Amino acid sequence: MEHTLRMNITINDFRVSPGKRLKLKSRPTEIKPPYESKEHYEELLRKHTEELSALQTRLYTHDRYCMLIIFQSMDAAGKDGAIKHVMSGVNPQGCQVFSFKHPSAEELEHDFLWRTTRALPQRGMIGIFNRSYYEEVLIVRVHPEILEAEGLPDEHLDDANVWKHRFQSIRDMEEHLHRNGTRIIKFFLNISKEEQRKRLLKRIEDPEKHWKANPGDLTERGFWNDYMKAYEECMAETSTKDAPWYIVPADDKKTARLIVSRVIVETMRALQMEFPEPSAERVKELKAMRKALMKG
């Protein structure tokens, strides 16, 4: 039975249905908080992170699955904070975080999925992509000059279906990964333009956040509507039964973190992982070890 964040809200309320048109204006950037106070929020998040830690141990010992968790959003939506808080209880040895920015010269000499494929998690691990191969149908679509720098053959560079083909490549890859044990969750942290403005201002006004202030964020803010259209088509084309997108209201960071943590826990819980049963020979070995230790 699916656990609820609060009455009448389940994780499926945030899931993008496969094959349906999507309008982000119809998706809230803020909802009634699923917590009643700061203390209540901390208690809920602690319960989520404790269960996530236990599930990560099962994931490692079961050794049949791995998790790939993708975060995408506009600037200042809270990706770093969500990763930091939600994964705070997980054994660092069982979790890897990769952040993908502008591709290097070497990466530009390969297909658009190459650099992220190298970072995919192995079985038993949780892999987190802070931005991902989806940048190739988002920022590259908003800034087509980037596509021209990727060295594609002319007949494909001029192809009116380049985005359609990239969506197909992504769906094919994610289907392949799912068949081989990778469970994929994709989060779009849905922040309003006004809330982003406030957070960008805070980066300028708070000396401890100056390091986050980037003129490029203001440049990209000017393409807000173009990004919304790109995200709408991207998620509508690539949210599938086995690799769903979740649109998370992100104007309130605490609410976003609770939703993200609950989605991850629910997804991992559904895997029904078990600790491996020891063989008869292993049981015999353990008994011998115990006997030796009992002697002091």
pLDDT tens figures, 22-41? 999 999 999 999 999 999 99
Residue type, 240: T
**Is the separation of the CB atoms in 173 and 136 below 8 Å?**
no
| Domain tally, the chain | 1
Residues whose CB is less than 8 angstroms from the CB of residue 79 and which lie 6 or more positions away in sequence, other chains included: 71, 72, 73, 130, 131, 189
Which domain, by its residues, includes 71? 11-294
Residue 179 lies in a domain: yes
235-249 pLDDT, tens per residue? 999 999 999 999 999
Whether 76 contacts 197, CB under 8 Å: no
Q: Which two tokens stand for residue 39?
A: 């203390």
Distance from chain centroid for Cα 151: 28
pLDDT in tens, 100-113: 988 899 999 999 99
**Residue the block writes with tokens 């939703």:** 259
Chain-centre distance for alpha carbon 170: 15
Amino acid residing at 177: L
Residue 15 located in a structural domain: yes
Phi, psi (deg, nearest 5) at residue 126: -105, 120
CA geometry: angle at 262 spanning 260 and 267, to 5°? 100
Assess contact for 35 and 41: CB atoms under 8 A.
yes
**In the chain, % of residues over pLDDT 70:** 97
Lowest mean pLDDT among 81-90, 151-160, 171-180, 283-292: 151-160
Which structure tokens are listed for 267?
């997804």
Mean pLDDT across the chain, nearest whole number?
93
- Average pLDDT score over residue span 211-224: 92
Q: Would you say residue 69 lies in a domain?
A: yes
Residue 189 is assigned to a structural domain of this protein: yes
Write down the residue that tokens 């086995």 correspond to.
242
Distance between CA 31 and CA 252 in Å, rounded? 8
| Alpha helix stretches (DSSP H) within the chain | 38-62, 79-86, 105-108, 114-117, 139-142, 144-148, 154-157, 162-179, 193-205, 215-221, 224-238, 253-269, 280-294
Per-residue pLDDT of 246-264, as tens digits, reads: 999 999 999 999 999 999 9
64 inside domain = yes
Helix (H) or strand (E) holding 239: none
Angstrom distance (rounded) from CA 233 to CA 78: 22
Number of residues written out for the chain: 296
In a domain, 4, yes or no: no
Which residues contact residue 261 at a Cβ distance below 8 angstroms, ignoring those fewer than 6 apart?
45, 48, 49, 52, 86
Phi, psi values for residue 286, rounded to 5°: -65, -40
Which CATH number do you get for residue 283? 3.40.50.300
Q: Is residue 201 part of a domain?
A: yes
| Residue 112 per-residue DSSP state | T
* 6 assigned to some structural domain: no
